[in-house]
Amino acid sequence: MANTVRVCGRLGVRAGAIVAAGLLLLSAVVGVTADSPRVADAAAGARPVQIQMKNFAFDPPAIAIKAGQTLTWTNDDVVPHTATADGKTWDSGQMAPGRSYTVTVTKPGTYEYTCSNHPFMHAKVIVTN
């Protein structure tokens, strides 16, 4: 890691700007946006898919999983949060900082959820067969 930092430091600001522009162009070409759902590893026995609550936001804001996969929300913020699905498909209840909540989603569909304490925090899970 130290070598990477040293090498990047030698490249300078101009090279860094060129790399950043290239990554931005690449993301535009492949259609990746901030709202694009991340696709979770659907391998048998896969670890739970992690969702962070941090800086008053869910990360990732959208994720695609297979039916039967497990999601785990972890509150990495400084205040309590909830992960409450529209229609109450799941509800973590109050999660103090450092706490986690896990649910397994078995039915395909799109599930939108919010933090009931902070309704501006919203995200979605897309579950496929």
* pLDDT, mean of residues 16-24: 45
Distance CA 3, CA 66 (A): 39
Average pLDDT, the chain: 77
Per the omega criterion (within 30 degrees of 0), is the bond before 48 cis? no
Q: Cβ neighbours of residue 59 under 8 Å, at least 6 residues apart?
A: 51, 52, 53
Are residues 20 and 47 located together in one domain of the fold? Answer: no
Dihedral over Cα of 54, 71, 95, 62: its sign: positive
- What CATH number does residue 108 fall under? 2.60.40.420
* pLDDT, mean of residues 49-58: 98
Are residues 52 and 10 located together in one domain of the fold? Answer: no
Structural domain of 13: 1-32
pTM: 0.67
Domain count, the chain: 2
Are residues 17 and 44 located together in one domain of the fold? Answer: no
Give the CA distances from residue 19 to residues 12, 16, 29, 75, 97, in Å, rounded to whole numbers and listed in that order: 11, 5, 15, 33, 36
Q: Which residue has the tokens 């008053």?
A: 56
What's the confidence (pLDDT) of residue 45? Answer: 52
Task: Reply yes or no on whether the pLDDT at 63 is more than 80.
Answer: yes
Give the CA distances from residue 123 to residues 16, 43, 47, 62, 103, in Å, rounded to whole numbers and listed in that order: 32, 24, 21, 6, 15
Are residues 94 and 48 located together in one domain of the fold? Answer: yes
What's the confidence (pLDDT) of residue 11? Answer: 40
Percent of the chain whose pLDDT exceeds 70: 64
Are residues 71 and 20 located together in one domain of the fold? Answer: no
Are residues 84 and 108 located together in one domain of the fold? Answer: yes
